[in-house]
Amino acid sequence: MIAIVDYGMGNLRSVEKGFLHAGHTNVIVTSDPEEVHRAEALVVPGVGAFRDCRANLDRLHLSSVITEAMHSGKPYLGICLGLQILFSVSEEFGASKGLDIFKGRVVSFPPDFSSRRLKVPHMGWNSVSYSKKPPIMSGIPDESHFYFVHSYYVVPDDKNIISGTSEYGLRFTSMIWQDNIFATQFHPEKSQTLGLKILGNFGNLVKGLRI
């Protein structure tokens, strides 16, 4: 079973439908810590404010369950906020603590973007260049385009976890991978055929199928 974690901030049904469309029916949307604990894999999507994300996870007693699942080796897929919350701290609305799975910061796009006619949030289609290709990107060419909606991006201390980067006024980390942990700044569930391919690959990985 794949648990799509419901903490009140995400395109949960879109993610669920994406898995179903990709042929994976073993998914559940839940905010119950016990169901999350029993799941074989976790998906944490999200849009909105980092501080609210962490507060909701804590309030629902999900922070420790998610952290324990990752440390135990369960496959984890983070989407947008589900990527950012893995890091130590975010600059959004002052310093807010993340789950600290990875050392690093979540920072905003520079204030001079408006003078350069670059809109924030960064919204729309953009390409992803592989630094190292994770299994969930199997069958997806380098420089493929995916859908983004974000004003902040992650700056990992350990550059070895970066698996993809994108360009929007600067080059930023758009995908990370270490062992059982995969996370994207872009939204697979909004990225049409290739996005569904990512969800399908993750589901196959959980099933132990060749991808």
For the chain, the first-to-last Cα distance in angstroms comes to 18
Instruction: Determine the distance from the C-alpha atom of residue 184 to the mean position of all C-alpha atoms in its chain, rounded to a whole number.
Output: 4
Counting residues of the chain whose pLDDT is more than 90, the rounded percentage is 87
Rg of the chain over all Cα atoms, to the nearest angstrom? 16
pTM value? Answer: 0.95
pLDDT score of 143: 98
CATH superfamily, with its number, for domain 2-207: Class I glutamine amidotransferase (GATase) domain (3.40.50.880)
Dump pLDDT digits (tens) for 161-191.
999 999 999 999 999 999 999 999 999 999 9
Counting residues of the chain whose pLDDT is more than 70, the rounded percentage is 98
In three-state secondary structure terms, 145 is: strand
Q: Residue 210 pLDDT > 70, yes or no? A: no
Dump pLDDT digits (tens) for 53-69.
999 999 999 999 999 99
- Catalytically active residues are 80, 187, 189
Tell me which residue of 156, 148, 150, 158 sits closest to 186, measured CA to CA.
148
